[in-house]
Structure 1
């Protein structure tokens, strides 16, 4: 029995702390949907997956990676459609190893390289910092309720209602920011994103649910968002997104951008103080129209002191 060839791809979700929202490094493609930085693993050329990943990001995006961790391995059959230009035969099974990379700044990139885009450009329903997103009330919730009612009308017993309630917090169930991937996959199951049409030739394309991407790169990005939101609470990973010196307001806005909801300022700062992760530098930053704010730094030695492992993200409401 002849087995189909397997191609190993390498994908990077590169996150920077933007002023308004977390920024993702994407590769524009003329006449096609943008992609994440990606490329095939070459066992003759790349000693490790990470070395190969760094080479591809540098070549495609003109950006040098810093902090990197392996995210997940993606291998669903047909996941590469529409093809993200990996050089392979049409019969090949494409397995992608995804990575999460963090950088403190969305630095300017040279022409012909990558571009920075807000991750809420691709997941607008995830941004609750100004309250419930309009897309939820006007489009997603009505469409999901129709999807649930459709199954019940046909007499099929399934878990659609419970799944919609849990992932999207319907009927007062509450919003869990870490379920970004679950929500994306539910929208796929309900036929509410463009990839449903690609894979099953049926989708409710009247619902605008964010910018599409090549292959399953938006699913890879959703996996990274869920990972980062959860990891904040048990590792001080947010400081990989901060400059060497920062104000507490800057830190709070960065955390709010990641989790997608406003934080209770006093509770956040009290919890932060208990961790021992930050200390004042004694230097001040002049702010337009306000009092100068003290600059702080991250104390890496706090992890050895075992006061805390992550930071608290108390909601404003």
Structure 2
């Protein structure tokens, strides 16, 4: 459906549904007509769809069998001069506008429709995991070569990728890092959109249309919100160990966290309370089980969590 006559506008809706599954932060994905990795998405029909959110929920359920809970709008993408978004077929001159949404779930059940699966976020953005080392060697070399071609580029790439030990890694700048890689011609989407480039082999997975931009926005939003809202508990089961909570936080931010400082920070928030029961599924000594108290959530006063990264 389009508006605006010959040069109309076409709107697509996409969902970033995230869960911690098997110790990894994962996103619900499908496949497009070409077999490329995609987010659940579809076109908004202003005649038949009452609201964006209702249309989005229908797309997700139809394409994955998964029912959405709470969702929040992320951002609207519609840059001119890029081949994506290309969410629906139509006249080439129609401007594509893509609206992304974020949903979190603790119930990452298996999904049955063909092509639907839970995909590790790090399959799409392997450079976002800083737990083992810094920027992957191949990517670091490609970024240095790109930066050396223009002195102004170095001041942009270093704050984002923190190649030196004294540079701070900003875990929330996911979209900025992806956009720089796109501009530098280091991701497959740049080649697809007409850049004269040969992206290096980074072990990453490209996505359909503008879906990797939307996923980057969702991951950055989630990471940033951890510090000022208790969103991590939306990814946790009803009861959990503090080690399990820390592992989930590390999976989200891609950093190793200081165990004692993380626990002290969690206990100071008043967001968890002991259940009086022990977990027997840890493989070692039974660990105490906790639950989320929900303190301050209703009045908007609930704090986020401190993320004391190991240095």
**What is the TM-score when the length of structure 2 is the normalising length?**
0.92
- Structure 1 residue 199 and structure 2 residue 198: aligned? no
Q: Which runs of 5+ in 1 are unaligned?
A: 153-158
Q: Which of 159, 180, 183 is the aligned partner of 2:177?
A: 183
- Structure 1 residue 164 and structure 2 residue 157: aligned? yes
Q: Any conservation in 2 of the 1:276–1:299 contact (CA below 8 Å)?
A: yes
Decide whether aligned partners of structure 1 residues 13 and 79 sit closer, same or farther in structure 2, where only a CA change above 3 A counts.
Answer: farther
Q: Any conservation in 2 of the 1:276–1:307 contact (CA below 8 Å)?
A: no
Decide whether aligned partners of structure 1 residues 224 and 82 sit closer, same or farther in structure 2, where only a CA change above 3 A counts.
Answer: closer
Decide whether aligned partners of structure 1 residues 113 and 147 sit closer, same or farther in structure 2, where only a CA change above 3 A counts.
Answer: closer
Structure 1 position 118, deviation (Å): 0.2
SS in structure 1 of the partner of residue 15 of structure 2: strand
> How is 1:172-251 mapped onto 2 (pairs within 5 angstroms)?
172-251=166-245
Structure 1 position 77, deviation (Å): 2.1
Structure 1 position 170, deviation (Å): 2.7
Structure 1 position 3, deviation (Å): 5.1
Q: Which residue of 2 aligns with 1:98?
A: 100
- Structure 1 residue 151 and structure 2 residue 150: aligned? yes
Q: Which runs of 5+ in 2 are unaligned?
A: none
Q: Which of 50, 72, 75 is the aligned partner of 1:72?
A: 75
Q: Any conservation in 2 of the 1:80–1:94 contact (CA below 8 Å)?
A: no
SS in structure 1 of the partner of residue 19 of structure 2: strand
Q: Any conservation in 1 of the 2:25–2:121 contact (CA below 8 Å)?
A: yes
Q: Any conservation in 2 of the 1:180–1:225 contact (CA below 8 Å)?
A: yes
Counterpart Cα distance in 2 of 1:30 and 1:169: 38
Structure 1 position 301, deviation (Å): 2.8
Q: Any conservation in 2 of the 1:27–1:35 contact (CA below 8 Å)?
A: yes
Q: Any conservation in 2 of the 1:242–1:251 contact (CA below 8 Å)?
A: yes
Counterpart Cα distance in 1 of 2:299 and 2:54: 33
Number of equivalences: 307
Q: Deviations over 1:234-280 (max 9, x none)?
A: 11011111111111111111100000011111101101111000101
- For the aligned residue pairs, the C-alpha RMSD in angstroms reads 2.0
- Structure 1 residue 279 and structure 2 residue 278: aligned? no
